Amino acid sequence: MFHFADPWYLLALIVIPVMIFWYLKNAGKNSGKLKYSDIRLLRDLGKTFKQRIRHILFVLRVFAVILFIIALARPQSGSKEEKISTEGVDIVLAMDVSSSMLAEDFKPNNRLQAAKIVAEEFIKGRINDRIGMVVFAGESFTQCPLTLDYGVLLTLLKEIKIADQNWDGTAIGMGIANGVNRLRDSKAKSKIIILLTDGVNNKGQIDPITAARIAQALKIKIYTIGAGTQGTAMYPVDDPVFGRRYVPMEVKIDEKVLREIARITAGKYYRATNTKKLREIYNEIGEMEKTKIEINEYTRYTELFLYYLAFGLIFLLVEVILRNTYFRTIP
Protein backbone atom coordinates (compact mmCIF):
# COMPACT_ATOMS: atom_id res chain seq x y z
CA MET A 1 0.00 0.00 0.00
CA PHE A 2 1.17 3.53 -0.80
CA HIS A 3 -0.23 6.36 1.25
CA PHE A 4 0.28 10.09 1.85
CA ALA A 5 -0.04 11.16 5.49
CA ASP A 6 -0.49 14.85 4.53
CA PRO A 7 -1.83 14.79 0.97
CA TRP A 8 -2.87 18.49 1.04
CA TYR A 9 0.76 19.47 0.44
CA LEU A 10 0.45 17.96 -3.03
CA LEU A 11 -1.62 21.00 -4.00
CA ALA A 12 1.70 22.87 -4.08
CA LEU A 13 2.52 20.99 -7.29
CA ILE A 14 0.55 23.73 -9.04
CA VAL A 15 3.78 25.74 -8.87
CA ILE A 16 5.40 23.44 -11.44
CA PRO A 17 3.46 24.63 -14.53
CA VAL A 18 3.99 28.22 -13.28
CA MET A 19 7.74 27.62 -13.16
CA ILE A 20 7.71 26.13 -16.68
CA PHE A 21 5.68 29.04 -18.05
CA TRP A 22 7.99 31.60 -16.44
CA TYR A 23 11.10 29.82 -17.69
CA LEU A 24 9.85 29.63 -21.29
CA LYS A 25 8.72 33.24 -21.20
CA ASN A 26 12.07 34.56 -19.96
CA ALA A 27 14.37 32.13 -21.77
CA GLY A 28 17.29 34.05 -23.30
CA LYS A 29 16.45 37.43 -21.74
CA ASN A 30 19.25 37.28 -19.23
CA SER A 31 21.84 35.93 -21.69
CA GLY A 32 24.89 37.96 -22.63
CA LYS A 33 25.12 39.24 -26.22
CA LEU A 34 27.96 40.07 -28.63
CA LYS A 35 27.59 41.99 -31.84
CA TYR A 36 29.05 40.60 -35.10
CA SER A 37 29.05 42.20 -38.49
CA ASP A 38 28.18 38.95 -40.24
CA ILE A 39 26.85 35.71 -38.64
CA ARG A 40 26.23 33.71 -41.81
CA LEU A 41 29.22 31.49 -41.09
CA LEU A 42 27.93 30.76 -37.57
CA ARG A 43 24.56 29.62 -38.93
CA ASP A 44 26.18 26.73 -40.70
CA LEU A 45 27.78 25.44 -37.54
CA GLY A 46 25.91 22.71 -35.64
CA LYS A 47 24.88 23.00 -32.00
CA THR A 48 27.39 21.83 -29.44
CA PHE A 49 26.57 19.21 -26.80
CA LYS A 50 26.53 21.95 -24.20
CA GLN A 51 23.95 23.86 -26.20
CA ARG A 52 21.78 20.79 -26.62
CA ILE A 53 21.56 20.14 -22.88
CA ARG A 54 21.44 23.75 -21.77
CA HIS A 55 17.95 23.24 -20.25
CA ILE A 56 19.19 20.49 -17.94
CA LEU A 57 19.65 22.97 -15.07
CA PHE A 58 15.99 23.94 -15.15
CA VAL A 59 14.90 20.29 -15.38
CA LEU A 60 17.00 19.44 -12.33
CA ARG A 61 15.43 22.28 -10.39
CA VAL A 62 11.91 21.23 -11.36
CA PHE A 63 12.56 17.66 -10.24
CA ALA A 64 14.04 18.92 -6.98
CA VAL A 65 10.93 21.02 -6.27
CA ILE A 66 8.61 18.09 -7.11
CA LEU A 67 10.51 15.78 -4.76
CA PHE A 68 10.48 18.37 -1.95
CA ILE A 69 6.71 18.79 -2.26
CA ILE A 70 6.16 15.01 -2.23
CA ALA A 71 8.41 14.77 0.85
CA LEU A 72 6.23 17.38 2.60
CA ALA A 73 3.16 15.21 1.88
CA ARG A 74 4.86 12.39 3.85
CA PRO A 75 4.62 9.37 1.55
CA GLN A 76 4.29 6.08 3.42
CA SER A 77 4.31 2.44 2.41
CA GLY A 78 2.04 0.19 4.44
CA SER A 79 1.70 -3.53 4.98
CA LYS A 80 -1.56 -5.02 6.19
CA GLU A 81 -1.73 -7.64 8.89
CA GLU A 82 -4.80 -9.56 9.95
CA LYS A 83 -5.56 -11.07 13.31
CA ILE A 84 -8.29 -13.67 13.00
CA SER A 85 -10.04 -14.95 16.10
CA THR A 86 -12.67 -17.66 15.87
CA GLU A 87 -15.25 -19.12 18.18
CA GLY A 88 -15.83 -22.53 16.69
CA VAL A 89 -18.78 -24.84 17.20
CA ASP A 90 -18.29 -28.42 18.34
CA ILE A 91 -20.79 -30.69 16.59
CA VAL A 92 -21.63 -34.35 16.97
CA LEU A 93 -23.73 -36.00 14.27
CA ALA A 94 -25.72 -38.84 15.87
CA MET A 95 -27.14 -41.10 13.16
CA ASP A 96 -29.60 -43.96 13.46
CA VAL A 97 -28.33 -47.05 11.61
CA SER A 98 -31.08 -49.46 12.57
CA SER A 99 -32.50 -51.74 9.85
CA SER A 100 -35.57 -49.51 9.42
CA MET A 101 -33.25 -46.92 7.82
CA LEU A 102 -33.32 -49.14 4.72
CA ALA A 103 -36.85 -47.93 3.94
CA GLU A 104 -36.87 -46.32 0.51
CA ASP A 105 -39.09 -43.29 1.00
CA PHE A 106 -36.23 -40.83 0.26
CA LYS A 107 -36.15 -41.62 -3.45
CA PRO A 108 -33.93 -42.48 -5.20
CA ASN A 109 -32.13 -43.49 -2.00
CA ASN A 110 -33.04 -45.17 1.24
CA ARG A 111 -33.06 -43.15 4.47
CA LEU A 112 -29.48 -43.95 5.45
CA GLN A 113 -28.07 -43.12 2.02
CA ALA A 114 -29.93 -39.80 1.97
CA ALA A 115 -28.77 -38.99 5.50
CA LYS A 116 -25.13 -39.67 4.54
CA ILE A 117 -25.35 -37.52 1.39
CA VAL A 118 -26.81 -34.55 3.26
CA ALA A 119 -24.41 -34.97 6.20
CA GLU A 120 -21.49 -34.90 3.74
CA GLU A 121 -22.75 -31.62 2.28
CA PHE A 122 -23.16 -30.22 5.79
CA ILE A 123 -19.59 -31.15 6.78
CA LYS A 124 -18.13 -29.62 3.62
CA GLY A 125 -19.90 -26.36 4.41
CA ARG A 126 -18.33 -25.94 7.86
CA ILE A 127 -15.13 -24.02 8.65
CA ASN A 128 -13.08 -24.16 11.86
CA ASP A 129 -15.62 -26.43 13.57
CA ARG A 130 -14.71 -29.70 15.21
CA ILE A 131 -17.14 -32.39 14.10
CA GLY A 132 -17.57 -35.92 15.36
CA MET A 133 -19.96 -38.78 14.56
CA VAL A 134 -21.72 -41.43 16.59
CA VAL A 135 -24.01 -44.13 15.25
CA PHE A 136 -26.65 -46.01 17.14
CA ALA A 137 -29.02 -48.90 16.70
CA GLY A 138 -29.53 -51.28 19.65
CA GLU A 139 -26.25 -49.85 20.99
CA SER A 140 -24.19 -46.77 20.23
CA PHE A 141 -20.65 -46.48 18.88
CA THR A 142 -18.30 -43.61 18.09
CA GLN A 143 -17.70 -43.52 14.35
CA CYS A 144 -15.31 -40.56 14.60
CA PRO A 145 -14.21 -38.40 17.56
CA LEU A 146 -14.27 -34.62 17.30
CA THR A 147 -11.86 -33.56 14.60
CA LEU A 148 -10.92 -30.78 12.21
CA ASP A 149 -9.69 -33.32 9.68
CA TYR A 150 -12.75 -33.32 7.45
CA GLY A 151 -11.07 -35.69 4.99
CA VAL A 152 -10.90 -38.47 7.59
CA LEU A 153 -14.38 -37.58 8.81
CA LEU A 154 -15.88 -37.91 5.32
CA THR A 155 -14.11 -41.23 4.76
CA LEU A 156 -15.58 -42.63 7.98
CA LEU A 157 -18.99 -41.24 7.06
CA LYS A 158 -18.96 -43.23 3.82
CA GLU A 159 -18.17 -46.40 5.79
CA ILE A 160 -21.34 -46.19 7.89
CA LYS A 161 -23.57 -49.21 7.29
CA ILE A 162 -26.84 -50.61 8.58
CA ALA A 163 -26.49 -52.48 11.87
CA ASP A 164 -26.51 -56.25 11.69
CA GLN A 165 -29.11 -58.36 13.51
CA ASN A 166 -26.92 -58.74 16.61
CA TRP A 167 -27.28 -55.09 17.60
CA ASP A 168 -30.35 -53.96 15.72
CA GLY A 169 -32.90 -51.75 17.46
CA THR A 170 -33.21 -48.05 18.30
CA ALA A 171 -31.36 -46.80 21.38
CA ILE A 172 -31.94 -43.05 21.09
CA GLY A 173 -30.91 -42.43 24.70
CA MET A 174 -27.60 -44.24 24.17
CA GLY A 175 -26.96 -42.26 21.01
CA ILE A 176 -27.44 -38.99 22.91
CA ALA A 177 -25.33 -40.19 25.85
CA ASN A 178 -22.48 -41.16 23.53
CA GLY A 179 -22.63 -37.74 21.82
CA VAL A 180 -22.67 -36.00 25.21
CA ASN A 181 -19.65 -38.01 26.29
CA ARG A 182 -17.78 -36.73 23.23
CA LEU A 183 -18.68 -33.11 24.03
CA ARG A 184 -18.42 -33.02 27.82
CA ASP A 185 -14.80 -31.78 27.85
CA SER A 186 -15.28 -29.35 24.98
CA LYS A 187 -14.25 -25.71 25.56
CA ALA A 188 -16.22 -24.48 22.55
CA LYS A 189 -18.69 -21.68 23.09
CA SER A 190 -21.41 -23.70 21.36
CA LYS A 191 -21.82 -27.48 21.63
CA ILE A 192 -24.53 -29.24 19.65
CA ILE A 193 -25.77 -32.70 18.73
CA ILE A 194 -27.74 -33.27 15.54
CA LEU A 195 -29.65 -36.47 16.13
CA LEU A 196 -31.38 -38.23 13.25
CA THR A 197 -33.65 -41.22 13.79
CA ASP A 198 -36.62 -42.88 12.13
CA GLY A 199 -37.99 -44.87 15.04
CA VAL A 200 -39.00 -45.22 18.66
CA ASN A 201 -36.57 -45.83 21.51
CA ASN A 202 -36.69 -49.57 22.31
CA LYS A 203 -33.17 -50.42 23.48
CA GLY A 204 -30.41 -49.13 25.72
CA GLN A 205 -29.74 -48.55 29.41
CA ILE A 206 -30.45 -44.80 29.27
CA ASP A 207 -33.82 -43.42 28.22
CA PRO A 208 -33.85 -40.40 25.86
CA ILE A 209 -35.26 -37.89 28.36
CA THR A 210 -32.63 -38.72 30.99
CA ALA A 211 -29.90 -38.39 28.35
CA ALA A 212 -31.37 -35.04 27.31
CA ARG A 213 -31.23 -33.76 30.88
CA ILE A 214 -27.58 -34.75 31.09
CA ALA A 215 -26.97 -32.78 27.89
CA GLN A 216 -28.82 -29.81 29.35
CA ALA A 217 -26.62 -29.87 32.45
CA LEU A 218 -23.53 -29.69 30.23
CA LYS A 219 -25.07 -26.89 28.10
CA ILE A 220 -25.27 -29.09 25.01
CA LYS A 221 -28.00 -28.24 22.53
CA ILE A 222 -29.72 -31.06 20.65
CA TYR A 223 -31.43 -30.70 17.28
CA THR A 224 -33.61 -33.73 16.63
CA ILE A 225 -34.70 -34.91 13.19
CA GLY A 226 -37.41 -37.48 12.56
CA ALA A 227 -36.69 -39.11 9.19
CA GLY A 228 -39.55 -40.77 7.34
CA THR A 229 -42.59 -40.10 5.23
CA GLN A 230 -46.13 -40.00 6.54
CA GLY A 231 -48.08 -43.28 6.70
CA THR A 232 -46.15 -46.20 5.22
CA ALA A 233 -42.87 -46.67 3.39
CA MET A 234 -41.62 -49.45 1.16
CA TYR A 235 -39.12 -51.66 2.94
CA PRO A 236 -36.86 -54.19 1.12
CA VAL A 237 -37.03 -57.82 2.18
CA ASP A 238 -34.62 -60.45 0.84
CA ASP A 239 -36.56 -63.68 0.34
CA PRO A 240 -34.39 -66.80 -0.17
CA VAL A 241 -36.93 -68.12 -2.71
CA PHE A 242 -38.33 -65.09 -4.51
CA GLY A 243 -35.36 -62.76 -4.03
CA ARG A 244 -35.73 -59.13 -3.02
CA ARG A 245 -39.23 -57.79 -2.71
CA TYR A 246 -40.74 -54.73 -1.10
CA VAL A 247 -43.36 -54.66 1.61
CA PRO A 248 -45.12 -51.63 3.11
CA MET A 249 -43.86 -50.70 6.57
CA GLU A 250 -45.64 -48.36 8.93
CA VAL A 251 -43.60 -45.25 9.76
CA LYS A 252 -43.29 -44.94 13.53
CA ILE A 253 -41.40 -41.92 14.82
CA ASP A 254 -41.70 -40.90 18.47
CA GLU A 255 -42.15 -37.22 17.69
CA LYS A 256 -43.33 -36.46 21.22
CA VAL A 257 -40.03 -37.65 22.72
CA LEU A 258 -37.94 -35.95 20.00
CA ARG A 259 -39.74 -32.66 20.64
CA GLU A 260 -39.17 -32.99 24.37
CA ILE A 261 -35.46 -33.68 23.87
CA ALA A 262 -35.16 -30.54 21.77
CA ARG A 263 -37.17 -28.47 24.26
CA ILE A 264 -35.10 -29.57 27.27
CA THR A 265 -31.82 -28.68 25.56
CA ALA A 266 -33.03 -25.46 23.89
CA GLY A 267 -32.76 -27.10 20.47
CA LYS A 268 -35.40 -27.70 17.84
CA TYR A 269 -37.29 -30.65 16.37
CA TYR A 270 -37.66 -31.21 12.62
CA ARG A 271 -39.53 -33.73 10.49
CA ALA A 272 -37.86 -34.77 7.23
CA THR A 273 -40.12 -36.57 4.77
CA ASN A 274 -37.75 -36.51 1.79
CA THR A 275 -34.18 -35.67 0.82
CA LYS A 276 -35.01 -32.08 -0.12
CA LYS A 277 -36.58 -31.42 3.26
CA LEU A 278 -33.65 -33.07 5.04
CA ARG A 279 -31.21 -30.84 3.17
CA GLU A 280 -33.23 -27.76 4.13
CA ILE A 281 -33.14 -28.82 7.79
CA TYR A 282 -29.36 -29.19 7.84
CA ASN A 283 -29.00 -25.84 6.07
CA GLU A 284 -31.22 -24.16 8.68
CA ILE A 285 -29.24 -25.67 11.53
CA GLY A 286 -26.03 -24.57 9.83
CA GLU A 287 -27.30 -20.99 9.60
CA MET A 288 -28.29 -20.94 13.27
CA GLU A 289 -25.02 -22.46 14.46
CA LYS A 290 -22.49 -20.32 12.61
CA THR A 291 -18.87 -20.06 13.62
CA LYS A 292 -18.06 -16.56 14.86
CA ILE A 293 -15.04 -15.15 13.04
CA GLU A 294 -13.56 -11.77 13.97
CA ILE A 295 -10.98 -10.19 11.68
CA ASN A 296 -8.96 -7.25 12.99
CA GLU A 297 -6.85 -5.49 10.38
CA TYR A 298 -3.66 -3.67 11.23
CA THR A 299 -1.63 -1.54 8.83
CA ARG A 300 2.00 -0.73 9.52
CA TYR A 301 3.35 2.29 7.66
CA THR A 302 6.99 3.05 6.83
CA GLU A 303 7.92 6.71 6.31
CA LEU A 304 9.38 7.35 2.84
CA PHE A 305 9.75 11.15 2.88
CA LEU A 306 13.47 10.92 3.66
CA TYR A 307 14.10 9.18 0.33
CA TYR A 308 12.26 11.89 -1.62
CA LEU A 309 14.00 14.60 0.38
CA ALA A 310 17.40 13.02 -0.22
CA PHE A 311 16.86 12.71 -3.98
CA GLY A 312 15.53 16.27 -4.10
CA LEU A 313 18.71 17.51 -2.42
CA ILE A 314 20.81 15.47 -4.84
CA PHE A 315 19.08 17.04 -7.85
CA LEU A 316 19.49 20.49 -6.31
CA LEU A 317 23.15 19.87 -5.52
CA VAL A 318 23.85 18.62 -9.06
CA GLU A 319 22.20 21.75 -10.46
CA VAL A 320 24.34 24.02 -8.26
CA ILE A 321 27.52 22.17 -9.18
CA LEU A 322 26.79 22.25 -12.93
CA ARG A 323 25.73 25.89 -12.81
CA ASN A 324 29.03 26.86 -11.22
CA THR A 325 31.26 24.60 -13.31
CA TYR A 326 30.26 23.27 -16.70
CA PHE A 327 27.48 25.80 -17.30
CA ARG A 328 29.20 28.66 -15.57
CA THR A 329 28.56 31.99 -17.23
CA ILE A 330 31.09 34.75 -17.43
CA PRO A 331 29.70 38.21 -16.46
Instruction: Print the SS3 string covering 15-52.
Output: HHHHHHHHHHHHCCCCCCCCCCCCCHHHHCCCCCHHHH
Domain residue ranges of the chain, discontinuous segments joined by +: 2-30+48-80+299-323, 89-290
Tens digits of residue pLDDT in 285-317: 998 887 665 556 666 778 888 999 999 999 999
Asked whether the whole model's pTM tops 0.75, one would answer no
Close Cβ partners of 65 (under 8 Å, ≥ 6 residues apart): 15, 16, 19, 312
Whether pLDDT at 280 is above 90: yes
How far are the Cα atoms of 122, 123, 303 from residue 4, in angstroms, in the given order?
47, 46, 9
**Lowest mean pLDDT, pick from 4-8, 11-15, 18-22, 76-80:** 76-80
The yes or no reply on domain 89-290 and CATH 3.30.70.20 is: no
* pLDDT score of 25: 83
Confidence of residue 30 (pLDDT cuts 50, 70, 90): low
Average the pLDDT over each of 114-128, 149-163, 215-229, 285-299 and give the range with the smallest value.
285-299
Mean pLDDT of the chain: 88
pLDDT reading at 34 higher than 60: no
What is the pLDDT confidence band of residue 23, given thresholds at 50, 70 and 90?
confident
Decide: residue 327, CB within 10 A, 0-12 exposed, 13-18 middle, 19+ buried: middle
Helices (H), 73-131: 111-124
Quote the pLDDT of residue 240.
Answer: 76
The whole-angstrom separation of Cα 260 and Cα 222 is 10
For position 241, what pLDDT does the model report? Answer: 73
DSSP annotation of 223: E
Residue 31 has pLDDT above 80, yes or no: no
Q: Report the alpha-carbon distance of residue 102 to residue 306 in Å, rounded.
A: 76
Q: Which residues pair with 183 in a beta bridge?
A: none
Residue 82 pLDDT greater than 80, yes or no: no
C-beta atoms surrounding 152 within 10 Å: 11
Residue 38 — pLDDT band, cuts 50, 70, 90? Answer: low
Tell whether the model's pLDDT for residue 124 goes beyond 80. Answer: yes
Q: Using 50, 70 and 90 to split pLDDT, how confident is the model at 80?
A: low
Q: Are 13 and 82 in contact (CB under 8 A)?
A: no
In whole angstroms, give the CA distance from residue 301 to residue 3: 8
Query: At residue 108, does pLDDT exceed 60?
Result: yes
Least confident of 10-14, 39-43, 75-79, 182-186: 39-43
Percent pLDDT > 70 in the chain is 86
How many residues are present in the chain? 331
For residue 37, what are the CA distances in angstroms to 29, 32, 44, 229, 311?
21, 17, 16, 118, 47
